Amino acid sequence: MTRYPDLFAAAAELYGFVYRELFVYRTNPPSAARWMMKMGGSPMDKPDVYRKANVLLSVDRVRTLLIMHGENDPQVPPSESAAFAKALREHLKIYFYFTYPNELHGFSQPAHRLDAWRKQLAFFEHYLNPKFGTTTTSVYEVVFPGEGAPAHVHK
């Protein structure tokens, strides 16, 4: 999405990490050790590798994004998605950000899983296959199921 922005009209980031240095310091110890091995060392040992993998440094290339994260995720700290949302807001990008209480890494509660799937479907239908006359055609709002009025873009 950041390397080939012209290829994607919209994307979803689900409980993922965007800033690997922050991730290594805030995740659980086994995940931190595994990622430091994959990255070839710690952020202090390999600052260029971590900088190159930092999506926040290329957020200006993102077009439209849906972000979803569990509020109690021990694997990928919710601060990852919060930092992504903040960077998108600072770059005046179109994004929608939803968090789910009492969720870990992924959505295990059936109601949350169903809500997330419905929101993803509405988001992608709006940006990739809009049905004129059945929903708003504004790029700044999406009619998400269960939300009542259209959700306005965070900018």
Q: Write out the residue range of the structural domain in which residue 122 sits.
A: 5-16+62-152
pTM, full prediction = 0.82
d(CA 29, CA 73): 14
Both 85 and 42 in a single domain? no
What's at 95, amino acid-wise? Y
User: Does position 154 have pLDDT exceeding 70, yes or no?
Assistant: no
Tens digit of each residue's pLDDT (9 = 90 or more) over 44-88: 999 999 999 999 999 999 989 999 999 999 989 899 999 999 999
Q: Which CATH number is 142's domain given? A: 3.40.50.1820
Both 91 and 24 in a single domain? no
Both 40 and 113 in a single domain? no
Tens digit of each residue's pLDDT (9 = 90 or more) over 111-152: 999 999 999 999 998 888 876 655 555 656 677 776 654 555
Both 88 and 129 in a single domain? yes
Contact residues for 100 (Cβ-Cβ < 8 A; gap 6+) = 68, 69, 70, 71, 107, 109, 112, 115, 116
